Chains A and B, each alone.
Chain A
Amino acid sequence: MQKIKKFSARTVNLPNEDIDTDQIIPARFLTRQTTDGIGKCLFADWRFDKSGRPKEDFILNQPESSDAEILVAGNNFGCGSSREHAAWSLLDYGFRAIISTSFADIFQNNSLKNGLITIAVNLETHKWLLEHPATTLIVDLDNTQICLENGKVISFPIDSFARYCLLNGVDQLGYLLNHDTEISAYENKQQ
């Protein structure tokens, strides 16, 4: 796992509420056996028309969005299917963080395990971000805060263990494997 501490990036707004993982990546792309190049499938039915041409009116296809690495989305982002392909496709496309007012549980879990930071903000900050498209933010994971272009600093909640793993590049599977003794003891007790 790559360590993540602090980065600065531009935002792009997708204010729809309840964006589900079927929109993030439609089911027909779930037959892939690896995650390589999966960013091509991100928001496929919103980005491309039936013949595969980019839809000009979709925000990610507009020139000013080309270098955006933070997605500002509407409430309850990532609801629906548990497909981790959603987090993989957002990352592979180039996003490093998603900002919303809330996230669906499984999507949030999947994202943090892959180094995609989910940042839940209050309505006021969310509104400011939507009113200031393509703004540049600093995401400071060490201090669990984002710094807006207007100088405002806003704290965001993140699970302390997820934060520790991201900051130190710790693999959660390795952490679990290190508890083999406790797992075996539990199994013996149950028998």
Chain B
Amino acid sequence: MQTAPKTLFDKIWEQHVVVPETEDTPAILYIDLHLIHEVTTPQAFSLLRENNLKVRTPQKVLATMDHSTPTVPIASLKDLDIVSESGPAQQIRDMIQNCKDFDIELYGFESKYRGIVHVIGPELGATQPGKTIVCGDSHTSTHGAFGALAFGIGTTEVAHVLATQCLLQRKPRTLAVNLNGKLNEGVSAKDIILKVIGQIGVGGGTGHVIEYRGNTVASLTLEQRMTICNMSIEAGARAGLFAPDEATYEYLDGRPRSPKGKEWDRALKVWKGWQTDTDASFDKEVDIDVSALTPMITYGTNPGMVMSIESTIPDHKGNQSLKKALDYMHFESGKSLLNHPIDVVFIGSCTNSRLSDLRDAATILKGRKIAENMRVLIVPGSQSVKAEAEAEGLDRIFRESGAEWRESGCSMCLGMNGDTVGSGKLAVSTSNRNFEGRQGSGSRTILASPKTAAASAITGSVQDPRQFETQV
């Protein structure tokens, strides 16, 4: 009997079904890799303690600390209270204790591998094609760049996975986003995903897993694919996926947790099968002409309120949510944001804090100074990224420009670790959310690519990076 053609998502799903879905009950889905961090796990560990349960498979849990951690350097954990408030400091200490009590390996403060959970998973080679990966964090979608089915879960579900290595799940629908054409100079993966979100809306992907397809894909690096998958959740999607290819295998070869020797050969054979069949159909399809893209910026208070940097802010046409957003941002319909003064630039977060992002920013900042009275914070995604950037001298370029160069962490993306934009202040940020107060109470955020953020840092106003001669 011939089987119906399947999508990559269908194949990964089917491979991980422990108990099939029925009308009355969701599927029990096996989870290969569980990433955890300090913010969304305390109540899950409490639940295990209350029920006298153990972590079923500690070796399938990868733990780090990123959200609450300070990005100013401290000599050791003992100095945490000097730089952190009591809440975040306690959360960090509890995480250490929880991992110890439940036999989970923690990439903690002293680890050279510590960093944002979605940066270190791939760096360590823990993120691999065909795996199911979850984390109590919506940006878990990042790992889909490797052809893994990766999605965010809540804390109750974190407890479920800790105790059983499984989740109760209804099968999502599929959405193909076809990316075609060549990316222009000065335009980045961030601009692609902002365009996608603008086109389908912040709820456009709800209930769906996106697979990114089309002729642009082969030319995208894994870091670019991670940026795109990362923000798939901002379109409401459960997950984003790219089928693995030679670039994926090359990225994973030799990573600490990648298979070695004969295991590698065996894994490669399996990984090559994680592809959507030729005639497979998707529940929905969307086409994006990548060659027509310009740098993108947001003007409102969600990532769907986004436009070309060359455009003017649209008319709210009585839409109360958009009107409220523009009031919050102090922006007006019909106006361009080019040359609009800003206070802060943040380059970092799980969206744009990898080596290529920092290199992008450095090509513009090299030999230039940031504008007076500007605060520019550059935060590497992991201690490994930090070390690599410093080995290339990127830290010197940043410091000489007047920017602050920090230790790794989530930092100003969500403002719960001491790094905030400031009330009423306007930031151009490479992070993923421009929600009201996301970067600290009262903060206002324009989302953009690392190049756009760097260009804006130099003039102290929103700038198109294409007008800056880049220095390699």
Contact between B203 and A74 (Cβ–Cβ < 8 Å)? no
> Looking at the complex, which one of A17, A33, A175 makes contact with B91 (CB distance below 8 Å)?
A33
With the chains together, A175 CA to B167 CA distance in Å? 11
Q: Is B266 an interface residue (CB 8 A)?
A: no
B window 190-249: CB within 8 A of A: 202-203, 206-207, 234, 236, 238
Q: Is B26 an interface residue (CB 8 A)?
A: yes
Contact between B163 and A177 (Cβ–Cβ < 8 Å)? yes
Contact between B24 and A173 (Cβ–Cβ < 8 Å)? no
Chain A: minimal CB distance from B48 (Å)? 9
Chain B residues, CB < 8 A from A35: 43
Chain A residues, CB < 8 A from B441: 26, 28, 45, 50
Chain B's closest residue to A75 (CB) is B203
Q: Is B297 an interface residue (CB 8 A)?
A: no
Chain A residues, CB < 8 A from B19: 179, 182
Contact between B416 and A179 (Cβ–Cβ < 8 Å)? no
A window 162-187: CB within 8 A of B: 164, 172-173, 175-177, 179-180, 182-183, 186-187
Chain A's closest residue to B15 (CB) is A190
Chain B: minimal CB distance from A123 (Å)? 14
Chain A residues, CB < 8 A from B440: 28
B window 10-43: CB within 8 A of A: 18-19, 23-26, 28, 30, 39-40, 42-43
Chain A's interface size range is: 35 or more
Interface stretch, picked from A57-65, A103-111, A134-142, A147-155, is A103-111
Chain A residues, CB < 8 A from B321: 16-18, 74
> Looking at the complex, which one of A105, A113, A160 makes contact with B24 (CB distance below 8 Å)?
A160
With the chains together, A32 CA to B91 CA distance in Å? 8
Q: Is A144 an interface residue (CB 8 A)?
A: no
Q: Is A66 an interface residue (CB 8 A)?
A: no
Chain A: minimal CB distance from B264 (Å)? 18
Interface stretch, picked from B332-340, B373-381, B429-437, B446-454, is B429-437
Contact between A22 and B163 (Cβ–Cβ < 8 Å)? no
Chain B's closest residue to A74 (CB) is B321
- 0/1 per residue, B416-447, Cβ < 8 Å to A? 10000001000000000101111011100000
Contact between A15 and B320 (Cβ–Cβ < 8 Å)? yes
Known: A104-B203, A159-B170. A81 touches B138 (CB 8 A): yes
Chain A residues, CB < 8 A from B90: 31, 33
Chain B's interface size range is: 35 or more
> Looking at the complex, which one of B18, B172, B202, B238 makes contact with A186 (CB distance below 8 Å)?
B18
Contact between B136 and A105 (Cβ–Cβ < 8 Å)? no
Contact between A105 and B153 (Cβ–Cβ < 8 Å)? no
Known: A22-B433, A79-B302, A179-B19. A113 touches B156 (CB 8 A): yes
> Looking at the complex, which one of A16, A31, A160, A179 makes contact with B320 (CB distance below 8 Å)?
A16
Q: Is A125 an interface residue (CB 8 A)?
A: no
A window 93-126: CB within 8 A of B: 102, 104-106, 109-110, 113-114
Q: Is B88 an interface residue (CB 8 A)?
A: yes
Q: Is A69 an interface residue (CB 8 A)?
A: no
Known: A16-B320, A179-B19. A80 touches B203 (CB 8 A): no
**Residue among A74, A110, A114, A183 with max Cβ neighbours from chain B (10 Å):** A183
Chain B's closest residue to A185 (CB) is B18
Chain A residues, CB < 8 A from B165: 183, 187
With the chains together, A124 CA to B238 CA distance in Å? 28
Contact between B154 and A173 (Cβ–Cβ < 8 Å)? no
Known: A84-B40, A84-B156. A30 touches B416 (CB 8 A): yes
Contact between B28 and A31 (Cβ–Cβ < 8 Å)? no
Chain B: minimal CB distance from A87 (Å)? 7
Q: Is B160 an interface residue (CB 8 A)?
A: yes
Q: Is A191 an interface residue (CB 8 A)?
A: no
Chain B residues, CB < 8 A from A83: 39-40, 154
With the chains together, A104 CA to B234 CA distance in Å? 10
Known: A106-B154, A183-B166. A30 touches B423 (CB 8 A): no
11 interchain pairs (CB within 8 A)? A20-B435, A22-B414, A27-B414, A27-B438, A31-B90, A45-B436, A74-B321, A84-B156, A113-B154, A177-B164, A182-B28
Closest 8 CB pairs of A and B: A31-B87, A110-B154, A76-B203, A84-B154, A82-B152, A27-B416, A82-B138, A84-B155
Chain A interface (Cβ < 8 Å from any Cβ of B): 15-18, 20, 22-23, 26-28, 30-35, 45, 50, 74-76, 79-84, 87, 102, 104-106, 109-110, 113-114, 159-161, 164, 172-173, 175-177, 179-180, 182-183, 186-187, 190
